[in-house]
Amino acid sequence: MLIRKPPQIRASEITPKHVYLNRRKFLAVPALAAFPGLAPAGVRLADVRKSPFSTDEKITPYQHATHYNNFYEFGTGKEQPAELAKNLRISPWAISVEGHVARPRVFDFDDIMKLAPLEERIYRLRCVEGWSMVIPWIGYPLNALIRQVEPTSKAKYVAFESLYDSKQMPAARWAGIPFPYVEGLRMDEAMHPLTLLCVGMYGETLPNQSGAPVRLVVPWKYGFKSIKSIVKIKFTEKQPPTTWSRANPQEYGFYSNVNPQVDHPRWSQAKERRLGEFFKRNTLMFNGYGDQVAQLYAGMDLRKYY
- Confidence band of 39 (pLDDT split at 50, 70, 90): low
More confident of the two residues 44 and 263: 44
As beta bridge partners, residue 136 has: 122
Measuring CA to CA, which residue among 205, 180, 161, 201 is closest to residue 33? 205
More confident of the two residues 293 and 12: 293
Tell me what the mean pLDDT of segment 83-91 comes to: 96
Q: Is the pLDDT of residue 113 over 80?
A: yes
| Residue range 241-290, pLDDT digits in tens | 999 999 999 999 999 999 999 888 888 999 999 999 999 999 999 999 99
Predicted local confidence at residue 227, as pLDDT: 98
- Confidence band of 46 (pLDDT split at 50, 70, 90): very high
Predicted local confidence at residue 37, as pLDDT: 41
| Residue range 225-239, pLDDT digits in tens | 999 999 999 999 999
Q: Is the pLDDT of residue 13 over 80?
A: no
Predicted local confidence at residue 129, as pLDDT: 86
Predicted local confidence at residue 264, as pLDDT: 86
Cβ-count burial 46-81 (b if 16+ within 10 Å, e if not): eebeebebeeeeeebebeebbbbbbbbbbbeebebb
Written as one string, the DSSP assignment of 72-125 is GGG-SSTTHHHHHTTT---SS-EEEEEESBSS-EEEEHHHHHHSS--EEEEEEE
Distance in angstroms (rounded) separating the CA atoms of residues 228 and 122: 18
Asked which of 4-18, 60-74, 251-265 is least confident by mean pLDDT, the reply is 4-18
Exposed/middle/buried for 201, CB within 10 Å: 0-12, 13-18, 19+? Answer: buried
The answer to pTM > 0.85 is yes
Alpha-helical regions (H) of the chain: 17-21, 62-66, 80-84, 109-114, 143-149, 187-191, 243-247, 290-293
Predicted local confidence at residue 211, as pLDDT: 98
Torsional sign, CA 60, 255, 298, 304: negative
Q: What is the chain's percent helix, strand, coil content, to nearest 5?
A: 25, 25, 55
Q: What's the whole-number average pLDDT of the chain?
A: 89
Q: Is the pLDDT of residue 18 over 80?
A: no
Contact between 69 and 164 under an 8 Å Cβ cutoff? The reply is: no
Domains detected in the chain = 48-297 (3.90.420.10)
Contact between 229 and 156 under an 8 Å Cβ cutoff? The reply is: no
| Residue range 123-158, pLDDT digits in tens | 999 998 899 999 999 999 999 999 999 999 999 999
